[in-house]
């Protein structure tokens, strides 16, 4: 069983972990939320600097918690795309250097493939084919998983990602950053039927709607208009009701498209990954809808939904098992489609 040490620094979490295939031996995350909170979002340069400060201690702690030294490690992995380039570079450079110094193979990992592999940590028996709903701060995609590194994108957002919509709506309600967890918590005390909000349908030229693609910018604008109207009428903002109604609209939109896509493609298992997979309304809606249709749905535990290095290590262990290792010249890239992950092992 391959033991992989992985580093994740694509955005605002510095993370290091060790897995043995699909078993987590250590998983450390240093959140930067306190650093970015006062700016209302991630400041890339501050993220890079904070990664530089934290990464060394986290790697040492990952080895210590796992009770291992370098002789037991089979490979070193790092996220190399997509993400903030300056932030990615910190983890990528650390991983390449450690691979070189300790004479271990290096495995570059696509961040979204990491989110996809989070489901294997809680459900090690999961096997393709299945459908993965990937919902993070930067991406919203329906991915047909045919095998390791073999992905087809069947649906995606045309504008804002689901997590981005949560963050923007939280900002316009004056709730702070990151918006997803704050809205989720507030929504518990609100009425999801208080306001009727659009589900972000994409019209097709010949009529009807795209079955799998979505839009979240219209939903965000609808919340903005609602807030403006209530303010103009001098009504105190019913923040919990707005949060609950917004969250329910996102959950309904994602659930409808995901179930339609799974049924159309004969995929009886759905996995969910990315920070928005932690959302309680999405979990409830999708679980209920999938059960009704006789489909199985897998949600990783909350700490594997948001950014972490265990998921990166898990994806790397699979690539390593298949003989996929990367050159030390693999670059950090801000954008890279998940369909091109095999280019990292050429």
155 binds, among Zn ion, ligand KG4, none (CB under 5 to 8 A by kind): none
H or E element, residue 156: strand 150-156
**Beta carbon of residue 36, minimum distance to ligand KG4 (angstroms, whole number):** 12
Query: H helices of the chain, where?
Result: 33-37, 44-66, 85-101, 111-122, 162-172, 179-187, 217-232, 239-264, 280-293, 302-305, 310-321
Indicate the DSSP class of residue 335.
-
Q: What distance in Å separates the CA atoms of residue 85 and residue 70, rounded to the nearest whole number? A: 28
Q: Closer CB to Zn ion, residue 136 or residue 144?
A: 136
Site string for ligand KG4, 302-341 (x = CB under 6 A): ----xx----------------------------------
Site string for Zn ion, 289-308 (x = CB under 5 A): ------------------x-
Q: Which region, judged by CB under 6 A, interacts with ligand KG4, from 38-46, 130-138, 201-209, 228-236?
A: 130-138
Closest to Zn ion by CB, 160 or 241: 160
181 binds ligand KG4 (CB under 6 A): yes
Our CB check for Zn ion shows the closer of 268 and 339 to be 339
Residue 150 is inside which H or E element, if any? strand 150-156
Kindly identify the residues of this chain, within the stretch 100-159, that bind Zn ion according to CB under 5 A: 136
Ramachandran angles phi, psi of 188, nearest 5°: -55, -35
Q: Is 8 in the site for ligand KG4 (CB under 6 A)?
A: no
Return the exposure string of 186-196: e unless at least 16 CB atoms fall within 10 Å of the residue's CB, then b.
bbeebebeebe
> Closer to ligand KG4 at the Cβ: 105 or 138?
138
Which of 140-148, 177-185, 189-197, 205-213 is the region at the interface with ligand KG4 (rule: CB under 6 A)?
Answer: 177-185
**Distance, CA of 298 to CA of 283 (rounded, Å):** 10
Q: Residues binding ligand KG4: what is the number (CB under 6 A)?
A: 19
Question: Which of Zn ion, ligand KG4, none does residue 190 bind to, with CB < 5 to 8 Å depending on kind?
Answer: none
CB of 94 to ligand KG4, least distance (A): 19
> Would you say 11 or 298 has its CB closer to ligand KG4?
11
DSSP state string for 275-326? GGGG-HHHHHHHHHHHHHHT-EEE---HHHHSS-SHHHHHHHHHHHHTT--B
Angle at 79 between CA 75 and CA 82, to 5 degrees: 155
Contacts (Cβ under 8 Å, ≥6 apart) of 66:
18, 25, 26
* Identified binder of ligand KG4 from the candidate list 163, 190, 200, 218, rule CB under 6 A: 163
Q: How far apart are CA 298 and CA 290, in angstroms?
A: 10
Q: Which residues contact 148 (CB under 8 A, 6 or more apart)?
A: 128, 318, 319, 322
| Residue 175, contacted partner among ligand KG4, Zn ion, none, CB below 5-8 A by kind | none
* CB 292 to Zn ion: min, Å: 29
Residue of 75, 108, 155, 178 interacting with ligand KG4 (CB under 6 A): 178
Look up tokens 């897998």; give the residue: 298
What CA–CA distance (Å, rounded) separates 13 from 314?
18
Q: Which does residue 295 touch among ligand KG4, Zn ion, none (CB within 5 to 8 A, set by kind)?
A: none
136 binds ligand KG4 (CB under 6 A): yes
From ligand KG4, Zn ion, none, which one binds at residue 181 (CB under 5 to 8 Å depending on kind)?
Answer: ligand KG4
Give contact residues for Zn ion (rule: CB under 5 A): 136, 307
Per CB under 6 A, residues contacting ligand KG4 are 11, 136-138, 163, 166-167, 178-181, 184, 274-276, 278-279, 306-307
């Amino acid at each position: 069983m391959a033991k992989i040490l992985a580093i994740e620094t694509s955005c605002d979490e510095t993370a290091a972990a060790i897995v043995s295939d699909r078993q987590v031996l250590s998983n450390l995350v240093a959140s930067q939320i306190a650093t970015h909170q006062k700016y209302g979002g991630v400041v890339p340069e501050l993220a890079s600097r904070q990664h530089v400060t934290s990464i060394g201690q986290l790697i040492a702690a990952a080895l210590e918690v796992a009770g291992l030294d370098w002789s037991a490690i089979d490979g070193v992995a790092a996220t190399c795309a997509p993400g903030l380039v300056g932030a990615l570079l910190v983890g990528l450079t650390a991983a390449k250097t450690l691979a070189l110094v300790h004479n271990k193979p290096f495995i570059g990992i696509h961040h979204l493939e990491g989110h996809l592999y989070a489901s294997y940590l809680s459900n090690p028996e999961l096997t393709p084919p299945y459908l993965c709903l990937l919902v993070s701060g930067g991406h919203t995609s329906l991915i047909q998983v045919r095998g390791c590194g073999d992905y087809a994108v069947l649906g995606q957002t045309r504008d804002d990602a689901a997590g981005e919509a949560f963050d923007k709506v939280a900002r316009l309600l004056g709730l702070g950053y990151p918006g997803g967890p704050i809205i989720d918590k507030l929504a518990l005390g609100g009425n999801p039927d208080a306001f009727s909000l659009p589900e972000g349908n994409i019209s097709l030229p010949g009529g009807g709607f795209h079955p799998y693609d979505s839009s979240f910018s219209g939903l965000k604008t609808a919340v903005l208009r609602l807030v403006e109207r209530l303010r103009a009428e001098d009504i105190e903002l019913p923040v919990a009701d707005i949060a609950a109604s917004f969250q329910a609209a996102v959950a309904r939109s994602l659930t409808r498209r995901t179930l339609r896509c799974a049924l159309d493609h004969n995929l009886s298992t759905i996995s969910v990954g990315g920070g928005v997979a932690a959302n309680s309304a999405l979990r409830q809606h999708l679980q209920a809808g999938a059960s009704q249709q006789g489909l199985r749905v897998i949600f990783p535990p909350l700490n594997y939904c948001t950014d972490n290095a265990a998921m990166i290590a898990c994806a790397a262990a699979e690539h390593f098992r298949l003989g996929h290792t990367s050159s030390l010249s693999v670059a950090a890239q801000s954008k890279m489609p998940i369909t091109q992950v095999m280019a990292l092992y050429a």
